[in-house]
């Protein structure tokens, strides 16, 4: 970059080099560490200007995928293209991407302004242009008044903003974020989620965000890629991921679920578990085979709970009786833990203003609608995420 960017160009979407600037495409990408398969024939297309999150547990391959896009790792097979160009063998500094890490990686001996200017200096940008672009980048993250401070004089949230400014000052086509909010406390993390999404919408830059925090992914992303053992288990928007998970694994990882395991009955539309006959929605065309092993899932917020004083029958599609063994105040909701039997418990959550007054030890009845239940095959283990540990840096 040889001329100063104007304030207008810093706040508008980047000019496209063709229609593909900011696109990221992975085609059958494989990455191994020794005998361990970290990324397994992964294919993904990220549209220009999209905010996409790679979400999954530790070891599922999400950070390895990000590092391959950045150029810090090379795939063993497959192809990665950025802005329509293959980047096989291209070093990180020659890719039109920048990365924000959880640790921020700021130079402690440099001021905030010097940290942000570093990349421009490496590109031999004229000094006048550096001053203007650094000021604009710091304005974007509301940090200009801290320009002369050292990173050690800043809070965690302020350091994160400086790292963002340093990554954005070159106006990359793609910004890669590797759990950048992980070191922040809860309140600041939630504030930064909103700021990140607003910043991305304002700039129009493609964001690829890696996280294990489902709340972050749900609140910010245009689409979410749920990863499992090096593959994408489901790729969809937040509403679809939450309401129509493609597997028991996705259902369990995003939000919380009550699972009932048993035998599929009623022509594939119910699971007869030891503690409840659970009727629900069919998870695949034609439903599950009758007589097969299956599992039903219902989220805690769909479960009604009341005292079981009468002990009579309920007219709800699904009911289960048990003993209340725990009550927790979660602010906007009350959470109830119910023991149905020695090997089965159930969680119910109700809005605090409407929550029933119950005490530990009470006999309770829980009920929920069939429309709130999803049915899955028994062999779809919600806990099996796979684990591959990449080499440490």
pLDDT at 37 over 90: yes
Residue pointed to by tokens 């109830």 = 336
- Percentage above 70 pLDDT, the chain: 89
Q: What is the mean pLDDT of residues 45-67?
A: 94
Q: Which residue has the tokens 């059958």?
A: 28
What pLDDT does 310 receive? 58
Phi and psi torsions of 22, nearest 5°: 95, -5
- Of the ranges 7-16, 198-207, 360-369, the best mean pLDDT one: 360-369
- The sign of the CA dihedral 164, 167, 173, 176 is negative
Task: Look up residue 15 and give its DSSP letter.
Answer: P
Cα–Cα distance, 334 to 353 (Å, whole number): 9
Residue 162 has pLDDT above 70, yes or no: yes
Q: Confidence class of residue 315 from pLDDT cuts 50, 70 and 90? A: low
User: Is there a contact between 318 and 276 (Cβ–Cβ < 8 Å)?
Assistant: yes
Contact assessment for residue 257 and residue 298, using Cβ atoms and an 8 Å cutoff: yes
**Domains detected in the chain:** 7-243 (3.40.50.300), 256-377 (2.40.50.100)
* Tens digit of each residue's pLDDT (9 = 90 or more) over 110-129: 999 999 998 888 888 888 98
Whether 94 and 122 have beta carbons less than 8 Å apart is answered as no
Give the model confidence (pLDDT) of 246-287 as tens digits. 899 999 898 889 999 999 998 888 999 998 899 987 655 556
- Tokens 């609140």 sit on residue: 219
Residue 143's nearest CA partner among 163, 173, 127, 126 is 163
Contact criterion met (CB below 8 Å) for 385 and 249: yes
Pairing outcome for strands 223-228 and 51-55: parallel
- Taking the alpha carbons at both ends of the chain, their separation in whole angstroms is 31
**Strand pairing report for 333-341 and 293-298:** unpaired
What integer best gives the mean pLDDT of the chain? Answer: 86
């Amino acid at each position: 970059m040889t001329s100063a960017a104007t304030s207008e160009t810093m706040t508008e979407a980047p000019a496209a080099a063709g229609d593909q600037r900011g696109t990221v495409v992975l085609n059958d990408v494989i990455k191994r560490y020794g005998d361990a398969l970290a990324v397994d024939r992964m294919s993904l297309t990220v549209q220009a200007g999209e905010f996409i999150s790679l979400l999954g547990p530790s070891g599922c391959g999400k950070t390895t995928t990000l590092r391959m896009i950045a150029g810090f790792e090379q795939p063993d097979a497959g192809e990665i293209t950025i802005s329509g160009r293959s980047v096989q063998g291209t070093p990180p500094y020659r890719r039109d991407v920048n990365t924000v890490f959880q640790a921020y990686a700021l130079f402690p001996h440099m001021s905030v302004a010097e940290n942000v200017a570093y990349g421009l200096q490496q590109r031999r940008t004229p000094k006048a242009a550096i001053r203007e672009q650094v000021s604009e980048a710091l304005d974007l993250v509301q940090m200009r008044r801290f320009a002369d401070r050292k990173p050690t004089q800043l809070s965690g949230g302020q350091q994160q903003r400086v790292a963002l400014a340093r990554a954005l000052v070159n106006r990359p086509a793609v910004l890669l974020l590797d759990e950048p909010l992980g070191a922040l406390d809860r309140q600041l993390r939630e504030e930064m989620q909103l700021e990140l999404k607003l910043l991305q919408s304002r700039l129009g830059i493609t964001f690829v965000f890696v996280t294990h925090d489902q709340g972050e992914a749900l609140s910010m992303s245009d689409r979410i890629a749920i990863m499992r053992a090096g593959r994408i288990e489901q790729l969809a928007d937040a509403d679809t991921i939450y309401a129509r998970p493609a597997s028991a694994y996705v259902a369990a990882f995003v939000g919380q679920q009550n699972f009932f395991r048993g035998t599929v009955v009623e022509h594939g539309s119910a699971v007869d578990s030891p503690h409840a006959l659970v009727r629900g929605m069919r998870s695949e065309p034609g439903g599950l085979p009758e007589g097969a092993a299956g599992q039903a899932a219902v989220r805690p917020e769909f479960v009604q709970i009341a005292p079981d004083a009468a002990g009579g029958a309920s007219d709800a599609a699904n009911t289960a009786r048990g003993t209340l063994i725990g009550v927790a105040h979660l602010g906007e909701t009350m959470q109830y833990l119910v023991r149905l039997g020695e090997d089965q418990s159930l969680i119910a959550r109700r809005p605090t203003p409407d929550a029933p007054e119950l005490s530990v030890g009470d006999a309770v009845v829980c009920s929920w609608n069939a429309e709130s239940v999803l049915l899955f095959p028994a062999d779809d283990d919600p806990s099996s995420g796979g684990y591959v540990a990449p080499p440490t840096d």
